[in-house]
Amino acid sequence: MGEVRALIVTGLGINCEEETTAAFRLAGARTDTVHLNAVLFGKCSIRDYDVLTLPGGFSFGDDLGAGKALANRLRYRKLPSGRWFFDELLDFLRRGGFILGICNGFQVLVKMGLLPNVNGDYEQEVTLAANASGRFEDRWCRVRVAARDVTPFLAGTGVISLPVRHGEGRLVVRDSAVEERIVAQSLDCLSYCDASGRPTAAYPANPNGSQLNCAGLCDATGRILGLMPHPEAHLSVYNHPDWPRMRRFHPEGSEEGEGLKLFRNVVEHIKSG
């Protein structure tokens, strides 16, 4: 396949679009960063892209719950063509497209019913609620990718360090049946872990108290990934607060940040397809 095209939407409180755009460019994709209204009013079509990304931010100020207002706008919006935008999203996925949601974008995907969608009916099965700490968490965390590769975004990735910046990131699952199916399919593909790499519920290594120690979810196809940590905020080793020690003890190591691998993974996967 030739050039990979990535669409990064912005506006309405999204504020991490520039870092996300830089991530895809560094990964080798051609990028377009557009206001979401350009998509919803038919001036830009997701059909022209391989990857759609909902970056982090505070859509609608999180006034009705993080991501909920934007999720409703996307789920119930009619395009000028008369089609529901949600139907366009499903067509986009059926044609082989990928969707990435980071932080607020993850919240949107969950509340639209796109993740984890274990029952296949696109009804909301989980939510991302207020952090168990009761406050906004802005810290670096370690996250571990599930041993089973379930999404190209995370292929070949083990334990990495990424920052979190959220007040509502605690995964709550609707019922035990949904939780069992998430675990059985390894859709809880990213877990908060301790310094030794073991998944943990202990604060602050787990910054929000998520069920399943979950930092990210994918769907059964692996084409949709949502995660609370910010991979676009670790594109260079020098983004990390402990970079002097990292470079001192590993001077031969790559200067790329660990978050860049996620973007490179999906771009290379699309190219190879």
Q: Is residue 178 a contact partner of residue 123, using CB atoms and an 8 Å limit?
A: no
Q: Is residue 23 a contact partner of residue 232, using CB atoms and an 8 Å limit?
A: yes
Catalytic residue among 103, 193, 214, 218: 103
Burial (Cβ within 10 Å: 0-12, 13-18, ≥19) of residue 211: middle
Dist CA 25 CA 148 (whole Å):
28
Look up 232 and say whether it is catalytic.
yes
Look up 166 and say whether it is catalytic.
no
Helices 68-75 and 85-94: angle between axes, nearest 10 degrees: 80
β-sheet with 137-145: strand ranges across: 30-35, 5-10, 51-54, 98-102, 224-227, 214-218, 190-193, 137-145, 159-166
Dist CA 129 CA 120 (whole Å):
23
Catalytic residue among 88, 218, 230, 269: 230
Dist CA 248 CA 253 (whole Å):
10
Dist CA 51 CA 270 (whole Å):
9
DSSP-assigned letters across all residues of 145-168: E-SS---GGGTT--EEEEEEEESS
Length of the chain: 273
Look up 268 and say whether it is catalytic.
no
Q: What is the DSSP letter of 56?
A: -
Catalytic residue among 232, 234, 258, 269: 232
Catalytic positions: 103, 230, 232
